[in-house]
Amino acid sequence: MNLRPILLLAFAASLTGGATLAATNYASERAAIVARYAAEAKQANPNFHGFSADAGKAFFLAHPGTGRPETPSCTTCHTTSPRNYGRTRAGKQLLPVAVSRTPARFTNLTKVERWFKRNCNTVYGRTCTAQEKGNYITFMESQ
């Protein structure tokens, strides 16, 4: 009996199974981060009604004029389309921020917090609220 087709099938099944599992893990890790921001937002505002992809989009595209002149917008580095590759001012390429393009986005709380802190300061000249962070991730999940 020729075992090769069976082995190939088993190999293919293990590959697709692994990819599905990784995607599920990313989704649940991201959901935990969003839930944490929701709890924080509710604490700050008892009328909190959830996150908005539209508000996240507006936040991403805005030029608030309150940060550093050389980084007027999130789009300065991430481009106006979240599905595009970005570029830092030093020329380093960045993976797209849209979750559909980079499934590992927003799955590590330490990384997420570090970059919100840094980028909100350079673009907005202040830290972002939990509502803004949740809106931003919700928008990127829709992209």
Contact criterion met (CB below 8 Å) for 98 and 142: no
For ligand HEC, the closer CB: 71 or 142: 71
Out of 105, 134, 138, 139, the only residue in the binding site for ligand HEC (CB under 6 A) is 105
C-beta of residue 80 within 8 angstroms of C-beta of residue 111: no
Number of residues lying near ligand HEC (CB under 6 A): 21
CB atoms within 10 A of CB 117: 11
115: contact with ligand HEC by CB under 6 A: yes
Minimum CB separation from ligand HEC for residue 27, in Å? 14
User: Are the C-beta atoms of residues 79 and 60 closer than 8 Å to each other?
Assistant: no
Q: Nearest Cα to 135, choosing from 54, 76, 72, 79?
A: 54
Longest dimension (CA), the chain: 72
136 near ligand HEC, judged by CB under 6 A: yes
In whole angstroms, the minimum distance from the beta carbon of 49 to ligand HEC comes to: 21
What is the per-residue binding string for ligand HEC in 78-97, x denoting contact by CB under 6 A? Answer: x---------xx----xx--
Kindly report the number of other CB atoms within 10 A of residue 87's CB atom: 14
Which one, 42 or 121, has the nearer CB to ligand HEC? Answer: 121
Q: How far is CA 113 from the centre of its chain?
A: 11
Residue in 41, 51, 57, 76 binding ligand HEC, rule: CB under 6 A: 76
Footprint of ligand HEC (CB under 6 A): 71, 74, 76-78, 88-89, 94-95, 105-106, 111-112, 115-116, 119-120, 122-124, 136
